[in-house]
Chain A
Amino acid sequence: MVKPKAFVRKEICLACGACISVCPQDALLMVTGKALVNNKLCNSCSICVKTCPVGAITWEGTEP
């Protein structure tokens, strides 16, 4: 089974960059003022999900 990728909920993201500074895969970028996950690089390690101070990062497919 393919693991789900991290997913940034744009309506919550405050563009603080915490996720970008910890992503070991460099899979996160700031694009037009919001963090964005590059699915090709994300290895589902969950570091960004846990790090986000406001809980803006969830798993692909589980977003409301």
Chain B
Amino acid sequence: MNYDVVVVGSGPAGSVTARFAAEAGAKVLMIERRAEVGVPVLCGEGISQKVDAFNLLEGKRWIANKMEGARIFSPNGTMITLSAEYAGSETGYVLYRDIFDKELARGAVRKGAHLMLNTGAIGLLKKNGTIKGVMAQHFDETLEIEADVVVGADGAESRIGKWAGIQTTLKPYDLETCAQYTLTNIDWESPYCDFFLGKKKAPGGYVWVFPKGKDVANVGIGILASLSGSGKALKLLDQFIASYPELKKGEPLRFLAGADPVAEPVESVRDHLVLVGDAARHVDPITGGGLMTAIEGGKIAGEVIGKAVEQQQFDQQFLSDYETRWKEAFGKKLHRNYIAKEIMLDMEDKTLDMLADSLKDYKFEEFSTLSIIKALVGKHPSLLVKLAPLMKLARA
């Protein structure tokens, strides 16, 4: 088998990369180790409305719920509201991720990409040290898929990066270990995505309730692996649900466990190789959200790879245009929020309560970590010392 590009993984980052590379005229194969695109869902299923601007999705079947904003609850329950009322039109959706992923994959196929299921990468094909494609297992067949560019879109546990010599092992400090139920028969009709903070509730992370309909919601937890213990994420999630009568009466339609990288991005380009999405650690370290960066980064990767195929140049230097452009698009924000994560981890619950108390009546102009930081420093000039590194990055 011979292609210009082989994309390993059919999640959003892989599909969007494949779409734009195929659109630019490259011969693209996307491989997926599982038997169905988008399944199992490993996600809280929240996304910013910014996704609309990319115009990649047809219809509305992928939308479970359109949200009016977000509410953050500090450890003692003080609520901060980031609502559409104050924040213009910039809100978000709760998704059906299985449908969302399939729609993005369909988009890639419509542009000419090929897709193979039940096909897991087992190694890189190399000749004299140069990457020439991937080895893959398809049922009982071992395939040699030759390609000029290999795209690692293989998620948090990326093997592709590792095989290419990129250090992708996550420190426990840089990984959220997650569990989530989709609960039905609950009393949680709300136009808000809710986030609950607190060292006891979710050490180094948060509990979320993302409503998918009037009596259905994703109720999940992410805790920092360095603060975790065996099965702790699930235990804390069960405790949280038991403490809310509105949720306790619910029954689960789905359960999932997962891992979310909250790290600084890794090297994303080598000769003949590109990493996208979670594999490149393109995830906001504060929210753990990685869908928008996967799509934004995937589009850039696909465009650069398309150009590489057109000009038959596959060296690191040529492909590094991808790295330059994703750094411009969201690299600063990811770095700033990584520093913000470190500062937040350092804060006691009572500090978070105090901060929440001073922001509870604040009218936010946009939904962003930066807007919260700015509001905090405005209210508490004494915080400036602690938040100074962030302010500097925010202005950069």
Partners in one complex: yes
Q: What residues make up the interface of A, taking CB atoms closer than 8 Å to B? A: 14, 16-18, 20-24, 26, 30, 47, 49-58
Q: Which residues of A contact B257 (CB under 8 A)?
A: 14, 16, 18, 52-54
**B-side interface mostly:** mixed
In B225-282, the 8 Å CB interface with A consists of: 225, 228-234, 255-259, 261
Q: Which residues of B contact A49 (CB under 8 A)?
A: 230
Q: Is the CB of B42 within 8 A of A53?
A: no
Interface size on B, residues (CB 8 A): 29
User: Pick the contact of B231 from A16, A26, A53 — CB < 8 Å?
Assistant: A53
Q: With A21-B169, A21-B259 as known contacts, state yes or no: A53 contacts B179, CB within 8 Å.
A: yes
| Given A17-B155, A18-B175, A18-B257, 12 extra CB contacts under 8 A | A16-B259, A21-B259, A21-B261, A22-B175, A26-B162, A49-B230, A50-B230, A51-B177, A51-B228, A53-B258, A53-B259, A55-B232
Q: Does B360 contact A (CB under 8 A)?
A: no
Smallest CB gap from A18: residue in B: B259
Q: Is the CB of B169 within 8 A of A26?
A: yes
In B168-206, the 8 Å CB interface with A consists of: 168-172, 175, 177-179
Q: Which residues of A contact B178 (CB under 8 A)?
A: 16, 18, 53
Q: Which residues of B contact A52 (CB under 8 A)?
A: 177, 230-231, 257
Q: Which residues of A contact B162 (CB under 8 A)?
A: 26
Q: Is the CB of A17 within 8 A of B177?
A: no
Q: Is the CB of B230 within 8 A of A18?
A: no
Q: With A18-B257, A18-B259, A21-B156 as known contacts, state yes or no: A47 contacts B230, CB within 8 Å.
A: no
Instruction: Give Cα A58 to B229, complex, Å.
Output: 11
Q: Is the CB of B157 within 8 A of A47?
A: no
Smallest CB gap from B42: residue in A: A16
Instruction: Give Cα A64 to B257, complex, Å.
Output: 22
Q: Which residues of A contact B169 (CB under 8 A)?
A: 21-24, 26
Q: Which residues of A contact B158 (CB under 8 A)?
A: 21
Instruction: Give Cα A20 to B261, complex, Å.
Output: 12
Instruction: Give Cα A18 to B231, complex, Å.
Output: 12
Could you count the A-B residue pairs with CB atoms below 8 Å apart for me: how many are there?
Answer: 86
Q: Is the CB of B256 within 8 A of A21?
A: no
Q: Is the CB of A58 within 8 A of B230?
A: yes
Q: Name the distance in Å between B351's Cβ and chain A's nearest Cβ.
A: 26
Q: Is the CB of A55 within 8 A of B228?
A: no
Q: Name the distance in Å between B113's Cβ and chain A's nearest Cβ.
A: 25
Instruction: Give Cα A26 to B170, complex, Å.
Output: 11
User: Pick the contact of B172 from A16, A26, A30, A47 — CB < 8 Å?
Assistant: A47
Smallest CB gap from A24: residue in B: B169
In B134-174, the 8 Å CB interface with A consists of: 155-158, 162, 168-172
Q: Name the distance in Å between A13's Cβ and chain B's nearest Cβ.
A: 9
Q: With A51-B175, A55-B230 as known contacts, state yes or no: A14 contacts B256, CB within 8 Å.
A: yes
Q: Is the CB of A50 within 8 A of B172?
A: yes
A-B contact pairs, 29 of them (CB 8 A): A14-B256, A14-B257, A16-B42, A16-B258, A17-B258, A18-B156, A18-B259, A20-B157, A21-B156, A21-B168, A21-B259, A22-B170, A22-B171, A22-B175, A23-B169, A30-B157, A47-B225, A50-B172, A50-B225, A50-B232, A51-B172, A51-B259, A52-B177, A52-B230, A53-B228, A53-B232, A53-B257, A54-B179, A55-B234
Q: Name the distance in Å between B202's Cβ and chain A's nearest Cβ.
A: 12
Instruction: Give Cα A30 to B122, complex, Å.
Output: 11
User: Pick the contact of A21 from B170, B179, B228, B230 — CB < 8 Å?
Assistant: B170
Instruction: Name, among A20, A26, A30, A54, the residue most crowded by chain B CB atoms within 10 Å (CB to CB).
Output: A54
Q: Which residues of A contact B225 (CB under 8 A)?
A: 18, 22, 47, 50-51
Smallest CB gap from B162: residue in A: A26
Q: Name the distance in Å between B42's Cβ and chain A's nearest Cβ.
A: 7
User: Pick the contact of B256 from A16, A26, A30, A57 — CB < 8 Å?
Assistant: A16
Q: Name the distance in Å between B345's Cβ and chain A's nearest Cβ.
A: 17
Instruction: Give Cα A4 to B51, complex, Å.
Output: 48
